[in-house]
């Protein structure tokens, strides 16, 4: 392949990489774009994996589109089962290895986009080769786990990590008929959450017959026929298990960038500006491997969330095509639904706000989603993190059986718009008994936060 001024290489065939490639191609149809993906799948729906494992959605709905569909509809090339192993910034080429044939070739570029995502953090005890230890970062991982459950008489599962993915997968595995134990090294579920909100989520897990063990970790595994049979805990003895799922967190996948001397930020992810440009000319980075600017602190941080990755992809694709647009930053808004509860967070937690130098306070209230006399009215608990000086929101958390997630989105909007607590209290929410309450939980929380500030 010859070197031209219009050749774009995208490393990573996830939603972020495809979003950037598609956007660039739409703006400039003359661009030659190649997307390199090390797995057999592209554009897979990572957030839908728990629902695939539980059996709620089909394989086709989360495995991503086929290569022919992408190439025909979007007009760029996709190389699956290929891995980018080296980047030479001086010669402007990427060394790409075919994982099926083992051959390597050098592909030249004019612009390069890194969308290498994140990698799972593996606890020391789990760094062993075993047929029944699983991670869940791509569709190949999800399919391997699904096939293992189908072809083995698994009855017990151990989930390492009680974050969003850990709890989503605990519920999914339980729905597949397994007895599930979840362990986490933190003494509180979701350590950055207000204590009351964390306690509500914890109660929902425990009432579901999933065993939740906090302030604990696995020290070693016993193997039999290349499979884990027992897990040894620091405090809780020995546990027999048939499946081990690692959901103990992720880190930015930046080894390729590091080896090419592309600068990283303080978080360890790739340092970018608001055009998604790195410190190297015509090299871009997006998604879970790149940093973002936090809308509250205005500092570069690592926010590995799907919505942010997709938006950064659109920004990068626009700029790669020669147009100009900026990524405004993000709050790290994230939510989940497990064991009958919706919950999530946006902006800063209390500890994060204080670490960032704010004089912050936390206010927690519980109110009803709609008029209390209705049989389907449920409680929603809201935690607001407020600045004593400006009387504005810095962050929020919510939990409830219904409609909590949409309240969180409203709070994210309020933080982005720099709404004061007084304005939050008097937002003109619509009211009808079957849908809402006269005083929405958000408005009640805004009022309570103002009172809390006056008492300080």
* Angstrom distance (rounded) from CA 253 to CA 16: 14
Q: Give 343's strand partners.
A: 336, 399
* H helix or E strand, kind and range, residue 62: helix 59-63
Structure pTM? 0.94
Query: What separation in angstroms does the CA of 370 have from each of 339, 377, 403, 414, 446?
Result: 21, 5, 10, 21, 17
Query: Residues with Cβ < 8 Å from 203, sequence gap 6 or more?
Result: none
Query: What separation in angstroms does the CA of 417 have from each of 385, 424, 429?
Result: 15, 11, 16
Query: Residues with Cβ < 8 Å from 128, sequence gap 6 or more?
Result: 221, 223
Q: Do 283 and 277 form a contact (C-beta atoms < 8 A)?
A: yes
* Angstrom distance (rounded) from CA 189 to CA 187: 7
- The arithmetic mean of pLDDT across residues 49-67, rounded, is 94
User: Is the backbone of residue 182 left (phi > 0), alpha (psi -120 to 50) or beta?
Assistant: beta
**Sorting pLDDT into bands at 50, 70 and 90, what band is 456?**
confident
pLDDT of residue 3: 39
Closest CA to 93 of 80, 106, 104: 106
pLDDT of residue 422: 97
**Sorting pLDDT into bands at 50, 70 and 90, what band is 271?**
very high
Q: Do 179 and 156 form a contact (C-beta atoms < 8 A)?
A: yes
* Angstrom distance (rounded) from CA 281 to CA 278: 7
Return contacts of 349-355, CB within 8 angstroms, 24+ apart: 349/192, 349/193, 349/385, 349/395, 349/397, 350/192, 350/194, 350/385, 350/395, 351/192, 352/192, 352/395, 353/296, 353/385, 353/387, 353/394, 353/395
* Angstrom distance (rounded) from CA 44 to CA 139: 6
Residue 12 DSSP one-character state: -
Mean pLDDT for the chain overall: 95
Closest CA to 121 of 304, 281, 370, 280: 304
Residue 6 has pLDDT above 90, yes or no: no
> pLDDT tens, 66-87?
888 888 888 999 999 999 999 9
Higher pLDDT, 70 or 312: 312
Residue 23 has pLDDT above 50, yes or no: yes
**Sorting pLDDT into bands at 50, 70 and 90, what band is 43?**
very high
Percent of the chain whose predicted confidence (pLDDT) is above 70:
99
Residue 340 has pLDDT above 60, yes or no: yes
Query: What separation in angstroms does the CA of 217 have from each of 165, 192, 436?
Result: 17, 19, 43
SS3 23: helix
> pLDDT tens, 347-362?
999 999 999 999 999 9
pLDDT of residue 5: 57
SS3 272: coil
- The arithmetic mean of pLDDT across residues 11-32, rounded, is 95
* Angstrom distance (rounded) from CA 112 to CA 9: 5
Query: Hey, what domains does the chain have and what are their CATH numbers?
Result: 7-119+251-320 (3.50.50.60), 122-247 (3.50.50.60), 340-455 (3.30.390.30)
Report the 10 Å Cβ neighbour count for 421.
Answer: 25
């Amino acid at each position: 392949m010859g070197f031209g001024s219009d050749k774009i290489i995208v490393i990573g065939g996830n939603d972020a990489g495809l979003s950037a490639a598609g956007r660039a191609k739409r703006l400039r149809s003359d661009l030659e774009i190649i997307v390199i993906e090390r797995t057999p799948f592209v554009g897979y729906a990572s957030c839908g994996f728990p629902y695939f494992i539980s059996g709620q959605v089909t394989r086709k709905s989360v495995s991503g589109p086929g290569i022919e569909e992408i190439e025909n509809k979007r007009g760029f090339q996709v190389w699956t089962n290929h891995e980018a192993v080296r980047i030479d910034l001086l010669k402007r080429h990427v060394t790409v290895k075919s994982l099926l044939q083992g051959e390597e070739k050098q592909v030249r570029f004019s612009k390069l986009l890194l969308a290498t995502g994140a990698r799972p953090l593996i606890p020391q005890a789990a760094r062993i080769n075993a047929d029944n230890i699983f991670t869940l970062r791509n569709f190949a991982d999800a399919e391997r786990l699904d096939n293992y459950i189908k072809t083995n008489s698994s009855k017990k599962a151990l989930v390492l990590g009680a974050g969003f993915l850990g709890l989503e997968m605990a519920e999914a595995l339980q729905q597949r008929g397994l007895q599930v134990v979840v362990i986490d090294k933190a003494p509180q579920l979701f350590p950055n959450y207000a204590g009351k909100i964390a306690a509500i989520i914890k109660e929902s897990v425990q009432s579901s017959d999933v065993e939740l063990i906090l302030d604990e970790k696995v020290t070693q595994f016993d193997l039999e026929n290349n499979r884990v049979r027992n897990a040894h805990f620091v405090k809780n003895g020995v546990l027999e298990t048939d499946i081990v799922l690692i959901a103990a967190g992720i880190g930015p996948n930046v080894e390729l960038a590091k080896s090419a001397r592309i600068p990283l930020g303080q978080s360890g992810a790739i340092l970018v500006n608001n055009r998604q440009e790195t410190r190297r000319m015509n090299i871009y980075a997006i998604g879970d491997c790149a940093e973002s600017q936090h809308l509250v602190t205005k500092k570069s941080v690592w926010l590995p969330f799907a919505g942010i990755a997709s938006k950064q992809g659109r920004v990068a694709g626009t700029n790669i095509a020669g147009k100009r647009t900026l990524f405004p930053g993000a709050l790290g808004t994230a939510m989940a639904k497990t064991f009958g509860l919706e919950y999530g967070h946006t902006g800063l937690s209390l500890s994060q706000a204080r670490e960032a130098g704010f004089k912050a306070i936390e206010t927690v209230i519980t109110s009803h989603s709609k008029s209390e006399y209705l049989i389907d009215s449920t409680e929603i608990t809201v935690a607001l993190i407020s600045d004593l000086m400006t009387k504005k929101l810095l962050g929020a958390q919510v939990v409830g059986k219904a409609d909590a997630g949409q309240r969180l989105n409203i709070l994210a909007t309020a933080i982005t718009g720099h709404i004061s607590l007084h304005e939050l209290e008097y937002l003109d929410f619509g009211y009808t008994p079957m849908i809402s309450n006269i005083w929405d939980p958000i408005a009640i929380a805004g009022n309570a936060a103002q009172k809390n500030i006056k008492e300080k």
